[in-house]
Amino acid sequence: MKANPNRAIAIWLYFGAFTILIQILLGGITRLSGSGLSITEWKPLMGFLPPLNENDWQLSFGKYKQIAQFQVVNPHFSVEDYKSIYFWEWLHRNWARFIGLAFIFPFLYFLIKRKMNLKLLSLISVLFLLGLLQAVIGWLMVQSGLNDTDTSVSHIRLAIHFIAAVILLCYTLWLAFSLSLNQVKMRHRLRFSKLNLIILCLVFIQLIYGAFMAGTRAALAAPTWPDMNGFVIPPGLYTQQITLSYLTGNLFAIQFIHRFLAYTICLLILVLYFRSVSWKINSLLSYIRLSPVLLVGVQVISGVMALLNSIGTHYQAFALFHQFTGILLSVSLLLLLFLNLKKN
- 156-191 tens-digit pLDDT: 999 999 999 999 999 999 999 999 987 766 656 667
Percent of the chain at pLDDT exceeding 90: 75
| Average pLDDT taken over every residue of the chain | 91
- H or E, element range at 90: helix 79-112
Specify whether 177 is located in the same domain as 196. no
Specify whether 239 is located in the same domain as 133. no
Domain-ending residue, one of 183, 211, 233: 183
Reported as a single tens digit per residue, the pLDDT across 5-64 is: 789 999 999 999 999 999 999 999 999 999 999 999 988 888 889 999 999 999 999 999
Domain-ending residue, one of 126, 152, 183: 183
Specify whether 212 is located in the same domain as 89. no
**In which domain, by residue range, is 304 found?**
187-344
pLDDT band per the 50, 70, 90 thresholds, residue 343: low
Specify whether 166 is located in the same domain as 253. no
Specify whether 44 is located in the same domain as 139. yes
Total structural domains within the chain:
2
Q: Which of 202, 198, 196, 203 is nearest to 288 (CA)?
A: 196
Predicted local distance difference test score (pLDDT) of residue 187: 59
Specify whether 155 is located in the same domain as 264. no
Cβ(76)–Cβ(24) under 8 Å? Answer: no
The average pLDDT across 100-128 equals: 94
Specify whether 7 is located in the same domain as 132. yes
Q: Which of 166, 202, 191, 204 is nearest to 341 (CA)?
A: 191
| Cα→Cα distances 233→82, 202, 203, 222, 277, Å | 41, 20, 22, 11, 34
Reported as a single tens digit per residue, the pLDDT across 221-251 is: 999 999 999 898 888 787 778 889 999 999 9
Specify whether 241 is located in the same domain as 143. no
Above 60 in pLDDT, residue 338?
yes
The average pLDDT across 277-296 equals: 82
Give the DSSP letter of residue 228. Answer: B
Predicted local distance difference test score (pLDDT) of residue 46: 82
Cα–Cα distance measured from residue 180 to residue 10, given in angstroms and rounded to the nearest whole number = 6
